[in-house]
Amino acid sequence: MFTDVRSKKIALVSHCILNQNSISDGTADFNCCDYEVVNLLLQNRIGIIQMPCPELNCLGLDRGNPKGAESEVIVENSRIRKSMNKKTPKEKLNTIVQNLAYQIEEYLKYNFQIVGIIGIDRSPNCGVNTTSRDNMEVEGTGVFISLLQKELKKRKIVIPFTGIKALETKKSISSIKKMLRKRN
């Protein structure tokens, strides 16, 4: 099954890597997407799954704060993190995680290779190595990535995660290449 020309290699990426229009006001680093990351994956013939934006899906485009761009990014990110841990957003987030874990299981069941999951460091939700908390960038994972990692562990699915920062292009590309080398 699935013996046609497809590469059977897939990366899951944070939503804003492909769509900068989805991120909180005042924080876009690119006009539409992170070209370097997208091009690297495409050059390596890796299919891209755009993970749902947890903040957009749970809090809306304005993240519940129409004046969010007037705050320092780290302060607004910390507010967003607190909002995501409230009952209704957390329930929505759990549904997103369950759906994503099911999709990953389906690919793995048919011998597709998930080369990795690429998050956005400093993000209150998609941070892998760092996140925003208490108006600071701190070591740790975002709310969404943490829930996804726990769900995958529960299902005994091992996939590498890497976190990147948009304006640290060389470091980001190096991190993704390292992840890709480990999977080949």
Burial class (CB in 10 A: 0-12, 13-18, 19+), 42: exposed
In a domain, 58, yes or no: yes
Phi, psi of 111, rounded to the nearest 5 degrees: 65, 30
Give the model's confidence band at 135: pLDDT under 50 very low, under 70 low, under 90 confident, else very high: very high
Evaluate if residue 156 carries a pLDDT over 80.
yes
The pLDDT tens digits of the residues spanning 101-123 come to 999 999 999 999 999 999 999 99
Q: Which two tokens stand for residue 63?
A: 């993240």
Range of the domain at 28: 9-183
In a domain, 3, yes or no: no
Count CB-CB contacts under 10 A for residue 159: 19
Q: How far is CA 142 from CA 16, 42, 65, 82, 104, in A?
A: 15, 26, 19, 11, 20
Q: How far is CA 153 from CA 43, 131, 144, 149, 168, in A?
A: 30, 20, 14, 6, 29
In a domain, 108, yes or no: yes
In a domain, 1, yes or no: no
Total structural domains in the chain? 1
The pLDDT tens digits of the residues spanning 61-107 come to 999 999 989 999 999 999 999 999 999 999 999 999 999 999 999 99
pTM for the full model? 0.94
